[in-house]
Each structure stands twice: as structure tokens, then as C-alpha cells.
Structure 1
């Protein structure tokens, strides 16, 4: 294991206390709502925020005893923080120079890294002459030029527009795959996390609430935040066989289990009706439409009732059913569309 850390940072109204392990060659993404402690954790790893407890061990070295400038770390900040008066080449060479490399050697290293990130022809450009995607690649090259054992990325794609983000995310994934150290990525974007990370660590209120591979976290969310992140309706109840009691409602589910349980289903699994449907759908309830919004190619309907839920329908269905806020509708979900698992 390359990185092992327990990060404890105490503030008057906030306390971060998390354990973190990152293997060599692994990318771990820290996810969480605003104020959860993600950036505090990253700054603590970098030595920019002092620990109030815990430790940071990197390849067996007690990193928490080192000053920030002595830690073998590369960091890419959200706004990149390139030196505006230096060229791209000089920005990348800055790190090796700070580590004692001769000017000529530092410039050779920087030129090599600019070639690797596809910016050799922009070596003499100042930051103001670079696009957002180019500036991000210069910042990444600067971080990697010092040959770090730990790479820290703070919202590295947040400053990019949607089109550029797609291209740079793909490039970043390739560069991270070539890096043999540990990587910790902070992001609020679930797609960035799912594409770039090998493992997700979800933080809420300064504590780890869930962790696992992207597939594991997406399939079995354990908090409302994670459920929203991966686009699922999530409920907690008590299971008995193939039924889960959630509040006053008894949900039929496909899975067989007993005891505290979560039930999750996709908004696309929710069917809406203006009148009570014929037959006896097992999971059927009456709800009030709280809101309607465009969601990709579909329309997301927010429902209030025995189950607060989101339903995704087509624009044609909105017109056919004449759906509008405040209206009462019937909603149903097939048991086969649900996923139940232990809480």
C-alpha cells in the first residue's frame, strides 16, 4: 500500500476524521457535497492544512512530519494557479528547479513533459494565451515533472466547458494510467469520478459514509447524496422475505432478505398514470407532482407522497398525460425493477 492516512482536522463547527488508503498505481476519488471535507482532506495530505490528529504514511515514510515543500507530492489546483508571467515551459520547469535541478536540465524535463501532454508547440505561450484545456495540461505536466509519489487533483476539470471537459477527461485518464504513484482526486462530478477513478470514497459531514469501486457504489448507494449522485431513488426500511416496509408502505422487491434494508430503483422504472391503473400493480401509490424539469432527452417528474420519488418520462408522455405541478397522479414500480440490499 503506497498511502495510508488517518486525517483528523478539527474546526469550531466541523471535524474531519477519515481513513484513507491508496495503492500504487491506483486512483481514488473523494466525493461528497459542498462542505463535506473533501478539499480539507486534500490540503491535509499536501501539508497545506495542519493535522489535529492521525498520520500520513507514504511508502513507509511518515509524511505528516515533513513540511509541505519536502513532501514528494504533485498537486493540480482547481484554477491551475499557473504563474502568469512565465511561459508554459517555464511553469513546468519551476518544480524541478525548486528540487535543485540545473536550469538546462529543468527545461529539458519540462519540454519532455509538454510533449507528453501534447503541448510542445505551446512551450513559449503564457497562461493567458492558453485555452482552459491547455492550461489544465500544463498544470498536470508541472505536477508530474517533479516525479511525485503522490498526485493530488483538486477538481481538475471544473473550470472547463462541457465540450473541452469531454476531451480533457479522456486525455487525463490516459495520463493517470501511465502514472505509477498514488492519485487522490477530489471532484463533485460523478462522471469524472466514474471515468477516472478505480475506487470512490464518499465523504459527508467529515466522515466516510461509503466506499468501493464505481460499480459497487453506483449499484448500492447508502445515503441520499450518493443515490442522487448516481441517479436512483433510495429508501431505507425493514425487509421480510421479498417485502420491505418503508414508512407506511410495503414494497414488493425482487430480492429476498430480512432485517434493515435499502431499496433502490431508477426514475425510469417509475410509471405514471392519471387514474388508478387496471389490475393490481404491487407497488402502487398516489402522489402529488412537486416539480417538472428537463433531464437530458427526458423529463424528470418530482413526486411527493407515501414515497418521495423522481420519475423520468418522455416529453410525449408529459403531453399525453397533461402533467403539471400540483397535479395528483398514480405511480407504480414493478418488483423486478427494484434492487434491495442490507442496510
Structure 2
């Protein structure tokens, strides 16, 4: 194990208490709502926030007793924090110079890293002359210049516009794949996490509530936050064979289970009707429309009834059904569209 950390940070109204185990070459993303403790965890690893308890061990060596400047860590901040008076080359060379490397060697290392991130021709540019994507790559090169064993990324794509973000995200994934140390990434963007990370750790209220590969987390969310993150309706109930009772509603499912269980289904699987449909689908309930909003190319309808749910329909379907907030309608979902798993 390369990184073994027990991070406990206690504040008057908040306590972070999580355990991290990350392997060499692995990229782990910390996800969670605002105030969950993601950035606190990253700052604790970097030595910028003092631990109240626990430990940090990297390759079997304790780090928590070392000051931030003595830890073998590279960090990319959300706003990059490039030195405005230095060129891209000198920004990247700064770390090695601080560690006693000669000016010539530091600049040689910096030039090689700028070439690696595709910015050899921008070595003489100062930060104000760089685009957002270029500044992000300089910040990554600067973090790698100190040959870190642990790379920390704090919302590394948040400052980019949507078009640039798409391009830089794929580039960053390639660079992280070439890094053989440990990478811990903090992000609130599920797409960034899904593309960049090998494993997701979801933090809520200072504690880990779920972890696994992106596919595992997306398929089996365990909290409302995770369900919203991956775009699913999620409910907790009690299973009896191929049925799960959620409150007063009995949902028929594809899987057969017994005991506490989750049921999830995508908003696109929810069908809406003005009147009770013929044939009465097995999963059918009456609901009130609480709101209607655009959602990508579709329309998202917020439903309140025996269960709250989102339904995604086309604009044409919205017009045909003539739906309005406050209206009572019928909603259904096929058992084959549901996914049930143990709670």
C-alpha cells in the first residue's frame, strides 16, 4: 500500500473522519456536496490543515509529522496559483530550485515537462498570456516537477469553460495514466470523476458513505446525493422476493431480494399519463406535478406522491400531455427498468 491515511479533523460544528488507502498508479476522486469535507481532506494530506487525530503514511513512512514543505507532494490548486511575474518555464522550475537543484538542471526539467504537456512553445509566456487550459497544464507540470510521490488535485478543471474543459479533461487523464505515484483528486463534477478516476470515494458530513469504481457507484448509489449525481431516482425499502415496499407503495422489481433494499431507476424510465392507463402497469401511482424544467434536450418533471420522483420526457410529450404544475397525473415504471440491491 502506498498511501495509508486516517484523517481526523475536528472543528466546532464539523468533524472529518475518513480512512484512505490508495495504491501506486491509482487515481482516487473524492466526491461530495459542498461542506462535506473533501477539500479539508486534501489540505490535511498536503499538511496545510492540522490533523486532530489519525495518521498519514506514504510508502510506509509517516508524513503527518512533517511540515508541508517537507512532504513529497505535488499540488494543483483550483485557481492554479501561478506566480504572475514568472514565465511558464520559471514557474515549473520553481519547485526544484526550492529543493536545492541547480538553476540549469531545474530549467532543463521544466522544459522537458512543458514539452510533455504540449507547451514547449509557451515556455517564455507569463500567466496573463496563457489561456485557461494552458495555465492548467503549467500548474500540472509545476506539480510534477518536484517528482512527487503523492499528487493532489483540487478541482483542477473548475476554472475552465465547457469547451476547454472537454479537451483538457482527456489530456489530464493521459498525464495521470503516466504518473506512477498516488493521485487524489477533489471534484464536484461527476463527469470529471468518472473520466479521471479509477475509484470514487463519496464523502458526506465528514464521513465516507460509498466507494468503488465509477461503474459500481453509478449502478448502485447508496445515498440521495449519489443518486442525483448519477441521475437516478433512489428509494430505500424492504424487499420480499421481487417486490420492495417503499412507504405505502409496493414496487415490483426485476431482481429477487429479501430484507432492506434499495430500488433505483432512471427518470427516463418513468412514463406519465393524464388518466389511469389501460392494463394498469404493475408499478403505477398517482402523483402531483411539483415543477417542470428543461433538462438537456428533454424536460424534467418533478413528481410528489407516495414517492417523490423525477420523470424525463420530450418537449413534444409535454405538449401532448398539456402538463402544468399542481396537476395530478399517473406515473409508472416497468419492473424491468428498475434495479434493486441490498441496502
What range is the shorter-chain TM-score in? over 0.9
1:1-343 correspondence runs (5 A)? 1-343=1-343
Whole-Å separation in 2 of the counterparts to 1:339 and 1:198:
24
Whole-Å separation in 1 of the counterparts to 2:68 and 2:215:
35
Query: What is the SS of the residue equivalent to 2:80?
Result: coil
Q: TM-score, normalised by structure 2?
A: 0.99
Residues 216-235 of structure 1, C-alpha deviations (whole Å, 9 max, x = no match): 00000000000000000000
Query: What is the SS of the residue equivalent to 2:64?
Result: helix
C-alpha RMSD of matched pairs (Å): 0.5
Residues 173-207 of structure 1, C-alpha deviations (whole Å, 9 max, x = no match): 00000000000000000000000000000000000
Whole-Å separation in 2 of the counterparts to 1:156 and 1:329:
44
Whole-Å separation in 1 of the counterparts to 2:332 and 2:111:
60
Q: What's the CA shift for 1:17?
A: 0.1
Q: Post-superposition, which runs of at least 4 consecutive aligned residues in structure 1 deviate over 2 A?
A: none
Whole-Å separation in 2 of the counterparts to 1:22 and 1:294:
40
Whole-Å separation in 2 of the counterparts to 1:103 and 1:166:
35
Gaps of at least 5 residues in structure 1 are: none
Q: What's the CA shift for 1:280?
A: 2.0
Q: Single out whichever of 24-33 and 278-287 deviates more from structure 2.
A: 278-287
Q: TM-score, normalised by structure 1?
A: 0.99
Residues 94-147 of structure 1, C-alpha deviations (whole Å, 9 max, x = no match): 001011100111011001000000001111111011110000000000000110
Whole-Å separation in 1 of the counterparts to 2:234 and 2:195:
23
Query: What is the SS of the residue equivalent to 1:172?
Result: helix
- Give the count of matched residue pairs: 343
Whole-Å separation in 2 of the counterparts to 1:212 and 1:143:
27
Whole-Å separation in 2 of the counterparts to 1:326 and 1:179:
54
Whole-Å separation in 1 of the counterparts to 2:266 and 2:153:
31
Whole-Å separation in 2 of the counterparts to 1:99 and 1:186:
27
Gaps of at least 5 residues in structure 2 are: none
Residues 232-289 of structure 1, C-alpha deviations (whole Å, 9 max, x = no match): 0000000010110100111111100000000000001000001110012111011111
